[in-house]
Amino acid sequence: MKNSVLMLLFLSAWGVAYGEDSVPAHPHVRIETTQGTFVLELEGKRAPLTVRNFLSLVDSGHYDGTIFQRVIPDFMIQGGGYTPDLKARKSANTIPNESGNGLSNTYGTIAMARTSDPHSASAQFFVNIADNTRLDPSPGSWGYAVFGYVIEGMEVVDKIAASQTGPAGKFRKDVPIVPVVIKKVSRVVYDD
């Protein structure tokens, strides 16, 4: 309980320090890949730190030219951290884990990838291609922070998930044999 209260205070202070109120409530992001395009709706109110970080990376072009380097059928597709030649593209920032936001790792949601350190998420993300509620927070486990949904093009995500995979470079398995390149990630701007 004490740790939970301390974390809430920390997240609150972090949000105030980094202008939490300036995060759009439901921004849309287009991800163009060599397999097609899909669109996300992000949850700026439920995961403000994660959405701010993600949008900052989108705006900087960080994701352009990266790949989906980990594809596991009936589980998820993960990308945003490696180039087609499997060189790491790292982000300088890590963000606090916002997994306790009421969003669940269900089919079609996007979440942050991380190491065993619950607060190590930086740039890599994954799209759930199954209901992966075991990745949600639970007593003794931080879980993985969901911060949005695929709202258009889930058939493209499913197509990527069906990619033939194998070992490549430092990865023992799960890398698409034909690279699935993220050509461009951009905010969707709607005309009024």
Domain ranges of the chain: 24-187
pLDDT at 52 over 70: yes
Residue 105 contacts residue 149 (beta carbons within 8 Å): no
Pairing verdict, β 76-79 and 125-128 = antiparallel
The residues that bridge with 68 in the sheet, in sequence order, are 79
Residues 53-95 have pLDDT tens digits of 999 999 999 999 999 999 999 999 999 999 999 999 989 899 9
Residue 192's pLDDT band, with cuts at 50, 70 and 90, is low
Neighbours of 143 (CB within 10 A): 19
**Which CATH number among 1.10.760.10, 2.40.100.10, 2.40.50.40, 3.10.129.10 corresponds to the domain 24-187?**
2.40.100.10
Distances (CA, A) of 140 to 3, 19, 35: 12, 30, 38
Distances (CA, A) of 119 to 145, 181, 188: 10, 27, 28
Contacts of 169 (CB under 8 A, 6+ apart): 86, 175
Distance of CA 116 to the CA centre of its chain: 16
